[in-house]
Amino acid sequence: MLRAKLSVVALAALLLAACSSEPRDEKGAALSPNKLYADARDELAANSWDKAIPLLERLEGRAAGTPLAQQAQLEKAYAQYRSQEPAQAIATLDRFMKLHPASPALDYALYLKGIVNFNDNLGLLAWIASQDLSERDQKAAKESFEAFKELSTRFPESKYTPDARARMTYIVNSLAQYEVHVARYYYRRGAYVAAVNRAQAALNDYQEVPASEEALAILMRSYEALGMTQLRDDSRRVLEKTYPQSVYLTGGEKPTEKSAWWKFW
């Protein structure tokens, strides 16, 4: 009997603790959904992402089934993104799109998902090294492209679509440059067959991109190093026809640009 009474007391204490953790006004009453949202907006405006997120999570529960709850989800995803929690932000956005496939804010959700992945991996070390997007892992870039592509396809008139399309162009150029970056790495280390494979991947998978010029040059030089003169000459003819003023035709090199990719915007 004593153990049962203790259990009841413990349960009551837990319930009281849970109630006391709910945000309350100066009179001790639980905050209304509108007040929760106003407080969360204040924290967002102050860039206090860690304070805004729990308020928005409470608002989701309190306003479940209403447009305010949907807004809370989107605001929370943005706060998670700004607080360097990209995985959580993507999870929140995926949940939002699954629960609200007909939401008028679906275009924004897709755009924000693209932005989160577009900026993924821009950590402190990458900033210090001014590391280009083409030199980093490409998984996030490809996922960003897919989100922007879905946005521009499903919502061509969205106010977010023009920027999404511009970013798609940049991503494609960067993906091609990534292949060239790897091909250049292999060529400089004497791995000419690997260099040929990566240069060909850049040319086959991405057409009419700036990286194609160097990809052709790497092909030409790798075939030269391998003693494959016919393929070398074929690559040179394509380079001459496509880029008649290329510095690579005279054995030159283009200067390496080391500006950070995010300065593009």
Q: Is 166 found in the same domain as 92?
A: no
Both tokens of 237, joined, read 């003819």
Q: Is 167 found in the same domain as 89?
A: no
Both tokens of 77, joined, read 């995803």
DSSP-assigned states of every residue in 115-126: HHHHTTT--HHH
**By C-alpha distance, which of 245, 190, 246, 189 is closest to 215?**
246
Q: Is 234 found in the same domain as 156?
A: yes
Q: Cα separation of 120 and 257, whole Å?
A: 21
Q: How far is CA 240 from CA 128, 156, 213, 251, in A?
A: 38, 38, 10, 13
Q: Is 169 found in the same domain as 230?
A: yes
Strand, coil or helix: 30: strand
In a domain, 117, yes or no: no
What pLDDT is stored for residue 256 in this prediction? 57
Provide the domain limits for residue 222: 127-253
Separation of first and last alpha carbons in the chain: 69
What pLDDT is stored for residue 119 in this prediction? 82
Q: Is 168 found in the same domain as 98?
A: no
In a domain, 109, yes or no: no
Q: How many folded domains does the chain comprise? A: 2
Q: Cα separation of 46 and 7, whole Å?
A: 43
**By C-alpha distance, which of 43, 94, 38, 87 is closest to 63?**
38
User: Which residues lie across from 30 on neighbouring strands?
Assistant: 24
**By C-alpha distance, which of 90, 265, 262, 93 is closest to 166?**
265
The CATH number for 44's domain is 1.25.40.10
Strand, coil or helix: 250: helix
Q: Is 207 found in the same domain as 94?
A: no
Please identify, among 102, 136, 156, the residue that sits at the C-terminal boundary of a domain: 102
Q: Is 41 found in the same domain as 88?
A: yes
| Count of CA atoms in the C-beta half-sphere (13 A) of 161 | 13
What residues have CB less than 8 Å from 161, skipping those under 6 apart?
Answer: 107, 151, 152, 155
In a domain, 14, yes or no: no
In a domain, 92, yes or no: yes
What pLDDT is stored for residue 191 in this prediction? 96
Rounded to two decimals, what is the model's pTM? 0.73
Q: Is 145 found in the same domain as 78?
A: no
Strand, coil or helix: 24: strand
Q: Is 191 found in the same domain as 84?
A: no
Which residue in this structure is represented by tokens 């007909």?
102
Q: What are the mean pLDDT values of the chain's consecutive 10-residue runs (265 residues total)?
A: 40 40 48 89 95 95 91 96 94 96 96 90 38 60 93 97 94 90 94 96 92 96 97 96 93 62 36
In a domain, 79, yes or no: yes
Helices 161-188 and 212-226: angle between axes, nearest 10 degrees: 20
Q: Is 96 found in the same domain as 39?
A: yes
